[in-house]
Amino acid sequence: MPEAGDDALEDLYREVILDHYKNPRHQGRIAGAGAVGVDLQNPTCGDEIHLSLRMEGGRIADLAFEGRGCSISMASASMMAEALRGKTLDEAVGVSAAFKGMLAGGPAAEDSLGDLVALAGVAQFPVRVKCATLAWNAMMRALGGQTHDADA
């Protein structure tokens, strides 16, 4: 099995990722009418996230997260929150598919993913893909309605 090279570590931990890890955007819980929340864990490492969002007029009006996890999972959540605010459901699903495709070794579509392409290096570390997708899986569940009330 080929080893990920020395450069791969710098690829994995781009400056923008470390920045989101240390200064996460959109932390918190969204409460109130129309808000949905999802708790999700990564069973391999115990990382946990609570993701909540509120749709308004067919768009993600607000999206926030709380969690404990590694830099990859938390930066991914922070960058996702930035990327998806204001997006329609279809657009959000599209970004999610493009993001997961990139982690599976597919192209890093900069026009749809923006800053998220910084996470492309994760593809070289299969064990870490689950870290990067934790928030996205929570978001998809929230959109899919497999949810509980954020106030509960």
Partner 1 sequence: MAIQIPAGTEAPGVLDPAALRPDFPILSRTVHGRPLVYLDNAATTQKPAAVIEAEADVYRRYNANVHRAIHTLGEEATAAYETARAKVAAFIGAPDPRGVVFLRNATEAINLVAWAWGRRRLRAGDEVLLTPMEHHSNLVPWQLVAAETGAKLRFIPLLPTGELDLAALDGLLNPRTRIVAVTAASNVLGTITPIAEICRAARAAGALCVVDAAQSVPHLPVDVGAIGCDFLAFSGHKMYGPLGIGVLWGRPGRLEETEPFLGGGEMILHVELERSTWNEIPYKFEAGTPNVAGAVGLAAAVDYLRAVGMGAVAAHEARLTEYALGVLRDLPGVAIYGPPAPRGALAAFNVEGVHPHDLAQFLDRDGVAVRAGHHCAQPLMRHLGVVATARASFALYNTTAEIDTLGGSILRAREFFHA
Q: Which residues bind partner 1 (CB under 8 A)?
A: 3, 5-6, 9, 12-13, 18, 21-22, 44-48, 68-72, 125, 128, 131
Q: Residue 46 or residue 57: which is nearer to partner 1 going by CB?
A: 46
Distances from the Cα of 101 to the Cα of 56, 94, 107, 113, 119, angstroms = 28, 10, 7, 11, 12
Residue with tokens 């064990």: 127
Shortest separation between residue 23's beta carbon and partner 1, angstroms? 11
Shortest separation between residue 13's beta carbon and partner 1, angstroms? 7
Listed residue (107, 109, 54, 104) closest to 84, CA to CA: 54
> Any residues with CB less than 8 A from the CB of 132 and at least 6 apart, and which?
72, 73, 76, 103, 119, 122
Shortest separation between residue 36's beta carbon and partner 1, angstroms? 24
* Helix extents (H) in 24-116: 71-84, 89-103, 110-113
Q: Residue 68 or residue 148: which is nearer to partner 1 going by CB?
A: 68
Shortest separation between residue 77's beta carbon and partner 1, angstroms? 13
Shortest separation between residue 138's beta carbon and partner 1, angstroms? 16
Q: Residue 12 or residue 98: which is nearer to partner 1 going by CB?
A: 12
Q: Residue 35 or residue 122: which is nearer to partner 1 going by CB?
A: 122
Q: Residue 95 or residue 119: which is nearer to partner 1 going by CB?
A: 119
Report yes or no: 41 and 27 within 8 Å, Cβ to Cβ: no
Strand partners, 38: 51
